[in-house]
Structure 1
Amino acid sequence: MRDTNFLIENNAKAIWHPMAHPADMRARPPKVMMRGSGVHVSDIEGRTLLDAVAGLWNVNLGYSCDPIKRAISEQMDALPYYSGFRGTSTGPSIQLAYELAEWFEPEGMVRSFFTSGGSDSVETALRLARQYWKIKGQSDRTKFLALKRGYHGTHFGAASVNGNANFRRNYEPLLPGVFHIPAPWTYRNPFNETDPAKLAELCAAALADEIEFQGGDTIAAFIMEPVLGAGGVIVPHESFMKLVREICDKHGILMISDEVVTGFGRTGAWSGARLWGVKPDMMTIAKAITSGYFPLGATLIGEKMAEVFEADKSGLASIGHGYTYSGHPVGCAAGIAALAETRRLRLNENAAARGSELRQALLALQSRHPIVGDVRGQGLMAALELVEDQTTKKPLDKAKMADVAAATYEADVMIRVSGNNIILSPPLIVSAADVEKIAVALDVGLLSAV
């Protein structure tokens, strides 16, 4: 690697960054991260920070998981790559698919289609949903329903089911036949309803109404995150996902649970669907499947869909879809090791315990800082929504949000700003002391906006 001076001089010059304006990056070059250990990362200036966003929701096992590193190295020596396109499998892909079927047996998942990440997994789920209905002889079922504020990735189909204009407007027109219903967000919703249970019923009624309007026999699938992540960590009432499942079943609509963030313990349960007691028809996973050490994802298929595909005699079930790196042997080896460590360390239990501590710490911050309008969280998914005024709920402006992030960084904690939300998603190996450090740094950051 080039020396430090070269990296600093060329930062943001020959590279465009995701979710950022290229001119902003050139004017205010981003931090350059150089090393990671445990729950900490170090930047090019030598500052060490607690990473309270786990990379991007994904480094559940922290930055020093030797079993994953060894698995990657050993697989590199044995077989660094092979394609699944030519009627071949690899040992790691066979084993990981078997283990995923075991892991998600309570959700009814029986098959895996491997991808390179979360957006790929969502794209795959949407395509398989349409194909399923063609096999079934119901080719009119092409539409998709989703939640406003939901986030499902950046591919054309995935962005189409996103429920946030920030990820849509510059790329429209997107996929036709996609419709959104209100999210069960108690802090901001069109019903002015603050009771979570009543709001769940109202949003479910809106779904039923949209299905009636569109025609249930034209809808392929409904997709949702069990806890909405990038949209601001919106935690539905425990009844909501069950109500959605019942409505989908009534109209024969497939249900896709987007578990790219919520899979593998972050909510305190091994999946968001399991947290809410629901069996979806498909699940999308990525991120923590390798703890971010290798790009890998999967679309998981439930038994009902698998039976239809595998019983087909017409040829319509032939899957004309895939990626160069589907089932990458190195990625699958990393996934096998990551799952073993995730289970051994009972990361779901730590996420539940530390998440409870984090929520209490954030509520204490809300009591001290008038700019904290709302605190939301489930397990180690949490958000502070910052406002200029708690009565009007006017969002805190962009400059002040940047000040909060910068001051928190100077207090040695890395957070993520999304709109007027501070998003927290630390590694699932965090300790109680780490949670306290996050709260102390946030206290410093919030004072900067006064």
Structure 2
Amino acid sequence: MTHSNFLRERDIRFHLHSQTNPEALRRDGPIIIERGEGPYVIGEDGKRYLDVMAGLWCASLGFENERIAGVAARAYRSLAYYHSFSGRASPDAIDVAASIAQRVPIENARIYFATSGSEAIETMIKLAWLYFRGRGQPERRKIIARDRAFHGSTIFAASLTGLPHMHREFGLPLGGIVRVSCPDTYRGRIAGESEDQFADRLAAELDEAIVAEGPETIAAFIAEPINAGAGVIVPPDTYFEKVRAVLDKYGILLLADEVVCGFGRTGEWFGCQAMGMKPDMMAMAKGLSSSYFPISAVALTPEIYEAIDAANAHGTNFGHGFTNSAHPVGAAIVREVLAIYDEMNLLERVSRQGKLLRERLSEELSDCSIVGDVRGRGLMAGVEIVEDRNSKAVFAVEKAVPAQIERMGMDYGLMLRPQGNTVTFCPPFIVTDEQVEEMANKVGAILREISSL
């Protein structure tokens, strides 16, 4: 038996994969990736794939970085682990908390560290509940979330997620979730409606939902500035301004899920800056460390910190924490990643490369009959696939068009991961002009081939 076959059999026998069909894994085996090289990943057979999605929206600096590897090695030799319970802290965690607080658009922010985006989302929800208990409103428990949103895989984060496949197997969602519409300007607008009018209608829907549920029962509204998992849904420019006005009317908190959008992805440091969103808390992960370490963070306003302080005024401890919060090695990696971002003039680079990506996709796909929409902001983009441009009808599920696109992408040397009927793009920030051309040209060839079938 070859080593490759040995690995495949062991994987099928012992490894439960995320977001994978078990039968397909048993039939086809795993796709084994052995190493990374810049924005490319290399399979066991030596084939190189340009990863259009930076893994899972996260490997901002590509799939290997000697500088960060050196920092990690030194950090492991110095302090391989310590916690943040009972007032403990490492120098790097202190420095990184200060650096993040100085970047976020929340004045005098405090930073809490966790280890995943899902944990950061759960932390924001718990803090929202704590905040209202401290204000004598413990009945404010409900959270407003949007259809087609993705907020994580833990129990409450998955409940907030507006994607049925995240609920089907687990008896989710939990109660206490109020669902409102996704701000999809391509599919959500009615005939003759401007984007601003669409935003007005969504704000009115939000107001009506709050009144129907009872404002006194609602703690917060959660949203990604740009909805990544639904296919890079960019809301109208005035959407969050109008949403915030409704929330302020009823004293409801606004929680920003910056897990994908944060740290430069949208052309601003944070997606809420790009989209005019003024949050009370922000959850961050992925680009925070380029996913070179599992670390996340929550930024909170002074008012929410004061509620934590008041709840423990008689000598009790804040009753929340994770074993690996503020991990010293993770903090050292984050500090170096942020330094690299600053040195590479990240925001200017993202804006330039993102503009080139959208222009080249639009040019390459302008005559492709199955492309309904090309959209994006910063260095993230979505190409929506339709069977009919006029009606915007999608292909029947049994045709498995997204799976065909993913398979053909590998044939072309691209690692694609369609989100539903949208081919999404979130390449590493280090992607070159030539690699942007490669993406656009190859995706164009793939979609034209599918349209001719």
CA distance in 2, matches of 1:257, 1:371: 33
1:88 shift after superposition:
1.6
Superposition pairs for residues 369-388 of structure 1, below 5 Å? 369-388=368-387
Contact 1:134 1:316 in 2 (8 A): no
CA distance in 1, matches of 2:424, 2:139: 40
Look up the match of 2:269.
270
CA distance in 2, matches of 1:344, 1:310: 37
1:142 shift after superposition:
0.5
CA distance in 2, matches of 1:69, 1:189: 45
1:199 shift after superposition:
1.2
Q: Does structure 1 residue 141 correspond to structure 2 residue 140?
A: yes
**Cα 1:26–1:103 shift into 2, 3 Å:** same
Look up the match of 2:400.
399
Q: Does structure 1 residue 338 correspond to structure 2 residue 329?
A: no
Deviating beyond 6 angstroms after TM superposition, the runs of 4 or more aligned structure 1 residues are: none
Partner SS state of residue 395, structure 1: coil
Contact 1:41 1:49 in 2 (8 A): yes
Superposition pairs for residues 172-191 of structure 1, below 5 Å? 172-189=171-188, 191=190
Please report the TM-score for the alignment, with normalisation by the length of structure 1.
0.95
Look up the match of 2:415.
414
Look up the match of 2:29.
29
Look up the match of 2:163.
164
Residue-by-residue CA offset, 1:355-386 (whole Å, 9 max, x unaligned): 11111122223322111122121111111111
Q: Does structure 1 residue 91 correspond to structure 2 residue 77?
A: no
Q: Which runs of 5+ in 2 are unaligned?
A: none
Look up the match of 2:241.
242
CA distance in 1, matches of 2:194, 2:359: 20
Q: Which moved more, 1:220-229 or 1:161-170?
A: 161-170
Superposition pairs for residues 29-428 of structure 1, below 5 Å? 29-104=29-104, 106-108=105-107, 110-189=109-188, 191=190, 195-312=194-311, 318-396=317-395, 397=397, 398-428=399-429
Residue-by-residue CA offset, 1:400-440 (whole Å, 9 max, x unaligned): 32222222222212111222111111001112211100011
Residue-by-residue CA offset, 1:62-108 (whole Å, 9 max, x unaligned): 1232332122111100110112224321222111111111111x333
Partner SS state of residue 14, structure 2: coil
1:25 shift after superposition:
1.6
Contact 1:144 1:223 in 2 (8 A): yes
Contact 1:200 1:240 in 2 (8 A): yes
1:14 shift after superposition:
1.6
CA distance in 2, matches of 1:114, 1:97: 8
Partner SS state of residue 260, structure 1: coil
Contact 1:309 1:317 in 2 (8 A): no
Q: Which moved more, 1:242-251 or 1:257-266?
A: 242-251
CA distance in 1, matches of 2:426, 2:153: 20
CA distance in 1, matches of 2:314, 2:439: 55
CA distance in 2, matches of 1:313, 1:437: 56
Contact 1:60 1:428 in 2 (8 A): yes
> What is the percent sequence identity of the aligned residues?
36
CA distance in 1, matches of 2:315, 2:160: 25
**Cα 1:44–1:75 shift into 2, 3 Å:** same
Look up the match of 1:7.
7
CA distance in 2, matches of 1:286, 1:354: 22
CA distance in 1, matches of 2:449, 2:7: 30
1:5 shift after superposition:
3.9
Residue-by-residue CA offset, 1:155-185 (whole Å, 9 max, x unaligned): 1111111112121232224321111111110
Contact 1:405 1:415 in 2 (8 A): yes
Number of positions where the alignment pairs a residue of Structure 1 with one of Structure 2: 448
Q: Which runs of 5+ in 1 are unaligned?
A: none
Please report the TM-score for the alignment, with normalisation by the length of structure 2.
0.94
